Chains A and B, each alone.
Chain A
Amino acid sequence: MANLQEIINTDIAIIGGGIAGTSIARELSKYDISITVIEQKHGVGLEGTSTNHSLVCQGGDSLTFRPGTLHAELNIKSIPLWPKLSEELNFKFRRIGGLWLIRDNSDYKKFQKMVSRAFKSTLDPKSPLLIPEGSFSPLKFVDKKELKNLEPEISDNFLGALYDPNLATVDPPEVAKAYAENAKANGVDFLFNTKIKNIKREENKFELHTDNALIKSNIVINASGIEADRVAEIVKARDFSYVPLKGTLVEFDEELGKLINHETTILPRGSPHLQVVSPTVDNKLKAGIHLVMSFRSDKEVKDYAVNHAINVAKTLYPALRFENHITKSFVGFMAMTNPDTGWHDFVIANHDFVPNWINIVLGPAGVSASPMLGKKVVEILTKSGLILKEKSNYNPSIRKKVES
């Protein structure tokens, strides 16, 4: 059968059609270069992109990321890009705002630090976390009364909250689809149901062997999400490590969704599990997140993880009957680098010994950083000597159907 295989020649092959692969494909489609996206499933954004809390870190929370990391840099640089992007690509972008609930003085002190950090970030041009002017509304403290106005159903146990009006939510698969459709309309090829079986490196050219095609490419971008390490290992280009972090979330229906308007969260104490309740773009609710390091084949939804989500929701909103409104519970995986310290960072880099191979590992807040991701890849490609010529006929809004 091998001789019947289709041979595809391309300049850049992107492995993975998730949020990373599609956003990079869209950015690169601005340039005069041939691009092929290879996805093992039948559509874009079906793995990690679709199984997360859907939040776009637009302010306070991106300031909690470790300064000096790509994780913080790309997220903050993405803040002003989101509203424009949603206009261009016409996807739903809902600014819900976040409430960091205050239980006691120690919470308050922690949030004070965050506020001063946010304030500095908007003022000091030398700040490692400089937020571009005009794209950020200041954080503010709200008292109990104001909190009740913002969230009528919230528990009486909270003294107040830190209000971040910037936080937004999107539907990540919808965004990935928008990226992909725009990329396709601008000339990017998509291969679906195509699983990488082997990769060979001849000189500086890569041969990607799949079931139905042989793809010959000069440059490979490994954006295969949680599988990035396995794919990189095929050509000995893994110079990063991560542990799969299994997160369990529960989704609730619109009936509850319409009662809650803001993302509400309390800082976890002595527990690795996040405590968040957040509305989605389509007025549903997501709550969780039970986090545990695990094998990536461990996709089972555990009862205790679901209970965690319900408990969190009930702690925040004791009057609501969450048990009766569950629409689904699901498991998603994040690639967590430095899991021992929690000093997570993205990997977006070419490999020292395998030229023209770029590894992408996102993990938490990957969707939020996606507008900057392609720009970072362009920077790396340009630095490594590739001359990218801009297309004259690039259209940022045009769409063409991608699903097979």
Chain B
Amino acid sequence: MSLNLDLARKIIKAMIRFSIDNYMLPGTYAVTDSGGHVIAVERRDSGLPATIDLAIDKAWTASVMKLSAKVLDQVITRGEVWRLNVKYNGRMTLIPGAVPLIIQGEVVGGIGHSGESVEGDEKIAQAGLSGAYREEEFEVKVEKGLELAKTIADNTINYVNKNKIRPVAITITDINGWPLLIYRMDGTPYGFVGISRSRAWTSSAFKVDSHKVVDLVGSMLESPNGEGSNERFNTTQGGVYVGDVIGAIGIAGNTPEEDYKIANSVLKLINF
């Protein structure tokens, strides 16, 4: 077993199943690699938008500290986390719900959940870790938006594999521009995750494909673009506006032209 997109999705599926079975609040489920970079993130439709970056940062914390937030808080820093966060601008997250993914005794990534109570987040993250060690297949029914996002992502992965192009990062946002799903295909450099999210946000925010935004605003530099926030301006090709159930798709990993073609072809494939 090694950490790849399939395993990350399996972990997320186990977390979603656990939270649905136990009538827990919907939120965001995130898995990062050993460097803390996103492999897969899913947010259920009614999950709070703010939980996305919280869940990602929790997984990041577990990855880069190779520890649970619980241990970091209670054993290592003992209430003095601000000392760490002077360096990390608040990204170091000590809220339980951040659990390292351990395979063969080694920390290979992080699992984060946000959206429930402190105890709930921890339980769901633990369910993710235990989900990595489950073998049987099961079905989980999620809400309309995330379901559609997963269908699009599956089709994108198939399209990329079939056409033998370079693997890509996929971001799918809701109509407000907040991600419902972020996947990084195996072999995609992690830098493309941010690009795909920026393209998806730009398309959502201006309700046109990302590269057409320049025609509307006249400049490439006018819009807000902040690290860690959801406002990420990017006017290269690869963001396609949908505006029905989901907001937009952002693809990154090849040339912008190729990324744009992938997004369009996939939408055509599923008759959107």
**A and B interact:** yes
Measured CB to CB, the residues of A under 8 A from B are 229-230, 233, 236, 238-244, 272, 292-297, 337-341, 343, 352-353
A338 and B126 contacting across the interface, CB-CB below 8 Å: yes
CB distance from B207 to the nearest CB of A (A): 41
Q: Is A292 touching B105 in the complex (CB atoms < 8 A)?
A: yes
CB distance from A278 to the nearest CB of B (A): 23
> B77-104 toward A: CB 8 Å interface, digit per residue (1/0)?
0000000000000000000000110111
Whether A233 contacts B130 in the complex (CB less than 8 A), given A292-B104, A339-B102, comes out as no
Assembled-state Cα–Cα distance A295/B132 (Å): 9
Contacts of A338 in B (CB 8 A): 126
- How many A-B Cβ pairs are below 8 Å? 58
CB atoms of A243 and B71 under 8 A apart: no
Q: Which residues of A contact B136 (CB under 8 A)?
A: 230
B127 and A241 form a contact (CB under 8 A): yes
CB atoms of A293 and B133 under 8 A apart:
yes
| A340: B residues at CB distance < 8 A | 67-68, 71, 99-100, 102, 126, 129
At the interface, yes or no: B135 with Cβ under 8 Å from chain A?
A: yes
B interface list, Cβ under 8 A from A? 18, 21-23, 67-68, 70-71, 99-100, 102-105, 123, 126-127, 129-136
Task: Report how far A270 CA is from B192 CA in the complex, Å.
Answer: 36
Pick the contact of B133 from A230, A243, A343 — CB < 8 Å? A243
- Closest chain-A Cβ to B176's Cβ sits at a distance in Å of 32
CA distance A239 to B18 in the complex (A): 7
Residue of A nearest to B68 (CB): A340
- State the majority secondary structure of interface residues on B: mixed
Q: Which residues of B contact A230 (CB under 8 A)?
A: 136
Q: How far is the CB of B123 from chain A (nearest CB, A)?
A: 7
B21 near A238: Cβ-Cβ < 8 Å: yes
Of the candidates A229, A230, A241, the one having the most CB atoms from chain B within 10 angstroms of its own CB is A241
Contacting B123 at CB < 8 Å: which of A241, A294, A295, A353?
Answer: A241
- Which chain A residue has the least Cβ–Cβ distance from B122? A338
Measured CA separation A60–B12 after assembly (Å): 40
Contacting residues, chain A, for B67 (C-beta < 8 A): 340
| Bound: A339/B71 CA distance, A | 12
Nearest-Cβ distance from residue A325 to partner chain B, whole angstroms: 29
Chain A residues whose C-beta falls within 8 Å of the C-beta of B134 in the assembled complex:
295
Nearest CB of chain A from residue B19's CB, rounded to whole Å: 11
Instruction: Determine which of B23, B103, B104, B130 lies in contact with A229 in the assembled complex, contact meaning CB atoms within 8 Å.
Output: B130
- C-alpha spacing A292/B102, complex, angstroms: 10
Residues on B with C-beta less than 8 A from A244 are: 133
- Give 9 nearest A-B pairs by CB, closest first: A241-B130, A241-B126, A241-B127, A236-B21, A340-B68, A243-B133, A340-B99, A243-B130, A341-B68
